[in-house]
Amino acid sequence: MPKRPTTNSTNDSVRTADKSLESWIWDAACSIRGARDAPKYKDYILPLIFAKRLCDVYDDEIDRLARDVGSREKALAIVKRDHGLVRFYLPLEPADPQQPVWSVIRTLSDGIGEQVTSHMRAIARESPRLLGIVDRVDFNAVTHGQREIDDDRLSRLIEAISTKRLGLNDVEADIIGKSYEYLIRKFAEGGGQSAGEFYTPAEVGTIMSRVLQPEPGMEIYDPCCGSGGLLIKCEIAMEANTRAAAKRAAAPLKLYGQEYTADTWAMAIMNMIIHDMEGQIEIGDTFKNPKFRDQRGKLRTFDRVVANPMWNQKEYTEADYDADELGRFPSGAGFPGQSSADWGWVQHIHASLNETGRAAIVLDTGAASRGSGNAGTSKEKSVRQWFVDSDFIESVLYLPENLFYNTTAPGIVLFLNKAKTKNRKGKVLLVNASQIFDKGDPKNYIPGAGIDRITQTLIGWLEVEKFSRTVDIAELRKNDYNISPSRYIYTSDAETYRSIAEIVEELDAIEAVARETDKALKKILERIGV
């Protein structure tokens, strides 16, 4: 797929096309059993829409070649001999060469599930980049003796997808990409607790990518990339900055991601390709086995890191931290304890930044304050203290409630900078954006004007009453390393400046620490025979 043309996102016709494609893509999803059940079928819907895009772009490439060689029949024969003439060779051969290659799928009338699966596997065999991506779904799968998606429903879905062409001349990659992400978001709305594992609200990703200000050719990394949305947002932000500065076409970003869940890993690669972007997405547990390493086996470093790790993970133990041989958890900081890996992820991300690197990380609000003001010591607070005292924290953004799909808690965005400018050293900018949202169904969202306000404040380090404030590290120490903006900036709703969800999560963390302490004390008493 060639480089997508420059578009003006404010253009009315683009917005109309955007809306039209989103409506079509959701209608196609609902064609199976309605909106309520559509999320159950995302593993079937996403690959089919992806395949439709591949087919229509392939037809465009065949038509272009046909103009040079005289006919589509000749063009198809030439491409069959030389797959390098197209980006992805598709071994779908319609009986009539004048018919689109998608017609091979559309005209299936019996054994549809089995035949679609066979065609997808054939496509993957011819294009190694698509192995494990387009072919990972069995459209003929049976559970407890019953088809997961029967041929009638599959036929309706294929017909719904067939109603709109997705070729190069029909829809630009950024529009179909946004519509594809719209579909992922709609699935997230019905995805319950699992949704947050693969989708970060678009406006949060936009803020993160704009504030990081990625530049052409930079290497960008997401250690828990989900469906790839944060990486894509960085490329879009870079291109927008380039256009705004009236610069020449620049080198794209180099995008790198790792994802633990196989289905989500495949979704990320499809999302990249459908946005007409290229990136290296690896599969595996980043915490235990980060895949991106240099030639010496050391942890690879990047210009920018974006991430929304799963909040408050409890599966990583002290043994996991001790087993690390990559220097991610410095002895001066320690490890944050088993009750929450939030600051463990921050440590991994910090170690993945080069000398001038910057990062934006979405965390649970409790990560900013847990352990502060309590008697005794807190492992999590000790790690936070190390980051504050080392002056790696540039700013902290407190988000509105009910943005994320797996929680109503507000969340924060932590911005790191390994090379803070002289006028920002020894200080942290705190932004309380808890009131910057519009009500949505089922989730709240940050409107465009709110995104602009938050972004401009963070980039310019602006101080605005009841919204943002620059705080000296000395004041953070005085407050026992509580870095939550809600602690320092009171909105007009002063009496409710801390959410109930935040307070409950902090109490849960305190109880978890108490349980760990009790367990350790019990072992000591058993050893001394008490």
Domain ranges of the chain: 12-187, 191-510
* pLDDT reported for residue 195: 53
**Dist. CA 254–CA 262, nearest whole Å:** 22
Helix (H/G/I), strand (E/B), else coil: 356? strand
Q: Are 70 and 76 in contact (CB under 8 A)?
A: no
More confident residue, 103 or 519: 103
Nearest to 384 by CA among 504, 490, 497, 487: 487
Check whether 356 has a pLDDT greater than 60. Answer: yes
State the pairing for strand pair 427-432/302-307: unpaired
Alpha-carbon distances, residue 333 vs 254, 371, 484 (angstroms)? 31, 15, 20
Contact (CB, 8 A) for 334 and 379 = yes
Per-residue pLDDT, 34: 66
Note the pLDDT of residue 4. Answer: 35
State how far the Cα of 302 lies from the Cα of 313, in Å rounded to an integer.
25
447's tokens: 């409107």
In single-letter form, the type of residue at position 505 comes to: E
Integer angstrom CA distances of residue 298 from 122, 291, 301, 343, 529: 38, 10, 9, 21, 46
Asked whether the predicted pLDDT for residue 184 surpasses 60, the reply is yes
What CATH topology corresponds to 191-510? Rossmann fold (3.40.50)
Q: How confident is the model at residue 25 (pLDDT cuts 50, 70, 90)?
A: confident
Pick the CATH number of 12-187 from 1.10.3720.10, 1.10.600.10, 3.40.50.410, 1.20.1260.30: 1.20.1260.30
pLDDT recorded at residue 9: 37
Mean pLDDT, residues 345-366: 97
- In this prediction, residues 204-212 reach a mean pLDDT of 97
Distance CA 387, CA 346 (A): 9
Winning range, highest mean pLDDT, from 3-12, 129-138, 400-409: 129-138
Identify the helix (H) or strand (E) that includes residue 283: strand 279-283
Nearest to 141 by CA among 172, 170, 120: 120
- Residue 443's pLDDT is 87
Tokens matching residue 370: 């847990």
Distances (CA, A) of 437 to 11, 179, 215: 24, 22, 29
What is the distance, to the nearest Å, from the Cα of residue 116 to the centroid of all Cα atoms in its chain?
29
Instruction: Give the integer Cα–Cα distance in Å for 354 and 352.
Output: 7
Q: Tell me the pLDDT band of 46, cut-offs 50, 70 and 90.
A: confident
Residue 302: its H or E element: strand 302-307
Based on its alpha-carbon atoms, the radius of gyration of the chain, rounded to whole angstroms, reads 25
* 225-262 pLDDT tens trace: 998 999 999 999 999 988 887 776 578 999 999 999 99
| Cis peptide leading into residue 216 (ω within 30°) | no
Backbone phi and psi for residue 328, each to the nearest 5 degrees, phi listed first? -80, -20
pLDDT higher for 1 or 350?
350
How far is Cα 372 from Cα 343, in angstroms, rounded to an integer?
A: 14
Q: Which residues contact 6 (CB under 8 A, 6 or more apart)?
A: 239, 243
Largest CA distance in the chain: 92
CB contact set of 530 (below 8 Å; sequence gap of 6+): none
